[in-house]
A = this chain, B = another copy of it.
Amino acid sequence: MTFSVDFLSKSWLCSTDDLDKSDMVLVGIPYDGTCSFKPGTRFGPEAARVASIGLESYSPYQDKDLEDSAFYDAGELDLPFGNRDKVLDIIYTCAKETLSMDKKFVGVGGEHLVTYPVLKAYLEKYPDIAVIHFDAHADLREDYLDESLSHATVMRRITDHIGADSFKQVGIRSGTKEEFAWIRKNNTLLTSLDEAKEVVQKFKNRPIFLSIDLDVLDPSIMSGTGTQEAGGLNFKEFIEWLKAFSSLNFVGADIVELSPAYDTSGVSTVTAAKVIREVLLMMS
């Protein structure tokens, strides 16, 4: 039995339902269990998918079309909220399996902690991976509320593995005195596009993971996130930064911290979907 009329897709704009033929796998990771302020990012992946249908498939910024890419929308992971360790294990497994299929993993959060298990899987395949981190917050605490593993410590944990030398940040404007001391000591924060060029030069022969906390954008356009922090990038600046890195060899990425409950106007969700489109196009 079948229908002769057409139905709209329930999946991401221009995604394929043929996993075998896809180069990238888009995975929703609806977890916000360690969020300490305003929770709600668990609804981010679904909201971004729904908003994607209102986007054009073509990007004038990159002169590329999503119709020419091949990515699979896996949907959202089914996660047991109350059990952080099990959640991290499921995410790890999903990333691991994606890599074993020789595909790129593109995660959509959820809180920033979800980057940790993904990078754990990447490190096993790419021991020399470097990370580019867009965020308003340093996420570099040694521990937070008595926990060594949370959204506020995730990038510190990751640099424990890859070294501060393989780690560059864009947009950081909030943190503790200690975090900013660490940033200055390790010179991880980029503040101009010229510095981005140097990074491209330095990282050009290495696999790169791109981790974008959407609150790197100014809350004027990204109110829909748990910790709104004034003074961020506007969208044009964000695109300039992204394009500055576009020649790098991105092997994976995630886009995290969309929290639809705080997006009263709908702008954040539409913009998050557009960011995901640009990341997908850059990685195609």
Chain A positions near chain B (C-beta within 8 angstroms): 1-11, 19-20, 28, 30, 32-40, 42-43, 46, 50, 54, 56-58, 60-61, 63, 65, 74-78, 80-84, 86, 90, 93-94, 97, 101, 144-147, 150, 172-177, 180, 218-221, 223-224, 227-231, 234-236, 239, 261-267, 270-271, 274
- Residue of B20, B144, B265 touching A265 (CB-CB under 8 A): B265
Q: Are B236 and A74 in contact (CB under 8 A)?
A: no
- Provide the residues of chain B in CB contact with A58, threshold 8 Å: 175-177, 180
Q: How far is the CA of A270 from the CA of B38 in the complex (A)?
A: 12
Q: Are B219 and A270 in contact (CB under 8 A)?
A: yes
- Provide the residues of chain B in CB contact with A172, threshold 8 Å: 60
- Provide the residues of chain B in CB contact with A60, threshold 8 Å: 172-175, 180
Q: Write the chain B residue with the least CB distance to A10.
A: B10
Offer 29 A-B interface pairs, CB within 8 angstroms, sorted by A.
Answer: A3-B74, A3-B94, A4-B97, A5-B77, A5-B78, A5-B97, A6-B78, A7-B74, A7-B76, A8-B75, A8-B76, A9-B75, A34-B82, A35-B39, A36-B81, A39-B40, A39-B42, A40-B40, A58-B177, A61-B173, A83-B147, A86-B146, A219-B265, A219-B270, A220-B234, A220-B267, A223-B266, A231-B235, A262-B265
- Provide the residues of chain B in CB contact with A7, threshold 8 Å: 74-78
- Provide the residues of chain B in CB contact with A235, threshold 8 Å: 218, 230-231
A68 to chain B, nearest CB (A): 9
Q: Are B218 and A5 in contact (CB under 8 A)?
A: no
Chain copies in the assembled complex: 6
Q: How far is the CA of A76 from the CA of B5 in the complex (A)?
A: 10
- Provide the residues of chain B in CB contact with A80, threshold 8 Å: 145-147
Q: Are A177 and B40 in contact (CB under 8 A)?
A: no
A13 to chain B, nearest CB (A): 13
- Provide the residues of chain B in CB contact with A229, threshold 8 Å: 270, 274
A121 to chain B, nearest CB (A): 12
Overall SS of chain A's interface: loop
Q: Are B97 and A56 in contact (CB under 8 A)?
A: no
Q: How far is the CA of A38 from the CA of B146 in the complex (A)?
A: 25
- Provide the residues of chain B in CB contact with A40, threshold 8 Å: 38-40, 261
- Provide the residues of chain B in CB contact with A56, threshold 8 Å: 174-176
Shortest Cβ-Cβ A-B pairs, 4 listed: A223-B265, A39-B39, A220-B220, A230-B235
A126 to chain B, nearest CB (A): 20
- Provide the residues of chain B in CB contact with A274, threshold 8 Å: 229-230
Q: How far is the CA of A12 from the CA of B32 in the complex (A)?
A: 23
- Provide the residues of chain B in CB contact with A145, threshold 8 Å: 80-83
- Asked whether A263 and B261 contact (CB < 8 A) given A19-B2, A56-B174, A94-B3, the answer is no
